[in-house]
Amino acid sequence: MNSKIAFITGATSGFGRASARRFAQAGWALVLSGRREKRLQALAQELRALVPVHTAILDVRDAEAVKAVVEALPQGFRAITCLVNNAGLALAPEPAQEVDLNDWHTMIDTNIKGLVNVTHALLPTLIESGEGASIVNIGSIAGQWPYRGSHVYGASKAFVKQFSYNLRCDLAGTGVRVTDIAPGMAETEFTLVRTKGDQGASDALYQGTVPLSAEDIAEQIFYVATLPAHININRLEVMPTRQSWAGFAIERDQ
């Protein structure tokens, strides 16, 4: 078994799937988790031609299920050297006052509780792996820069940023690195999920510009996970060249 093993959550689409392919190209063994079984098995079948792959159907919101998956890892897949906390989502692009409370709870349970569940379950393994082990948390520019309709999504990604910083403090001396990768506009299933399947809204967001791709972010994830063991990238904010910050919103009398 390859001595380098990556555990990737949300591996059935977007950054997670692209990361699985990138790590496999470099010869890493993989533990891939996700909720969509058919997609997960198709990806595993594709990548087993390159590297050993173990899969787990998993909803990261379920702490007991996460713990059970980690405890049941086959012997050859136990020595995790990189955790990619990718599972997450955005819902409800409407203003906060129009949002269904259930959408807020789903984002909190997935983006915050899910990330915490997986991290807590794998921390002993990563600490045992020691120098050069990595936790790569997928945040967002929304965790740093507010915009209309971001409400709980942006707040959840701000949690990812601060949790990553605080983990670094607690893990000092263990050799385990922690990075918050914060993508800007990227063309994945993100907007389709956020708008509950509105293909027109997704197409309109990316029309006429050049967004990031899932592969662009996978390359950054792989980069920070394979740096020399004495280097830790604390936070990596990545935006398309054609995306930048807007000015402050001003309300005016009519």
Can you name the CATH fold of 5-187+213-238? Rossmann fold (3.40.50)
Q: Is the pLDDT of residue 192 over 90?
A: no
Task: State residue 247's pLDDT score.
Answer: 84
- Res. 1: pLDDT tops 70: no
Q: What does the pLDDT look like over 211-235, one tens digit per residue?
A: 999 999 999 999 999 999 999 999 9
The CA distance from 204 to 210, in Å, is 12
User: How much is the pTM?
Assistant: 0.95
The values of phi and psi at residue 160, to 5°, are: -55, -45
b/e code 91-120 from CB counts within 10 Å (16+ = b): bbbeeeeebeeebbebbbbbbbbbbbbbbe
**Residues tagged active-site:** 153
Q: What is the mean pLDDT of residues 170-193?
A: 93
Question: Domain segments of the chain: what residues?
Answer: 5-187+213-238
Rounded Cα distance, 231 and 166, in Å? 17
Q: Tens digits of per-residue pLDDT, 30-50?
A: 999 999 999 999 999 999 999
Instruction: State residue 195 phi and psi, 5-degree precision.
Output: -100, 10
Q: What is the mean pLDDT of residues 90-118?
A: 96
User: In this structure, are residues 111 and 157 in contact, taking their beta carbons and an 8 Å threshold?
Assistant: yes
Residue type, 112: I
CA dist., res. 15 & res. 220, Å (int): 10
Average pLDDT, the chain: 95
Residue pLDDT, tens place only, 54-69? 999 999 999 999 999 9
Q: How crowded is residue 173: how many other Cβ atoms within 10 Å of its Cβ?
A: 7
Record the tokens describing residue 77, joined without a space.
């897949």
Q: What is the pLDDT of residue 2?
A: 54
What is the model's pLDDT at position 205? 86
What tokens does 37 get? 């079984």
Within 8 A by CB and 6+ apart from 138, the residues are 15, 84, 85, 86, 88, 160, 181, 183, 217, 221
Distance CA 221, CA 180 (A): 10
Residue tagged 């001003």 (tokens): 250
Q: What mean pLDDT comes out for the span 82-96?
A: 95
Q: What stretches of the chain show up as alpha helix (H) in DSSP?
A: 14-25, 37-47, 63-71, 101-107, 115-129, 151-170, 190-194, 199-206, 214-225
Dist. CA 198–CA 202, nearest whole Å: 7
Give me the pLDDT at residue 133, please: 98
What is the phi/psi pair of residue 245, to 5°?
-90, 145
Segment of 1-5, 14-18, 197-201 carrying the highest mean pLDDT: 14-18
Q: What is the tens place of the pLDDT at every residue in 142-179?
A: 999 999 999 999 999 999 999 999 999 999 999 999 99
| pLDDT interval class at 195 (50, 70, 90) | confident
pLDDT at 200: 87
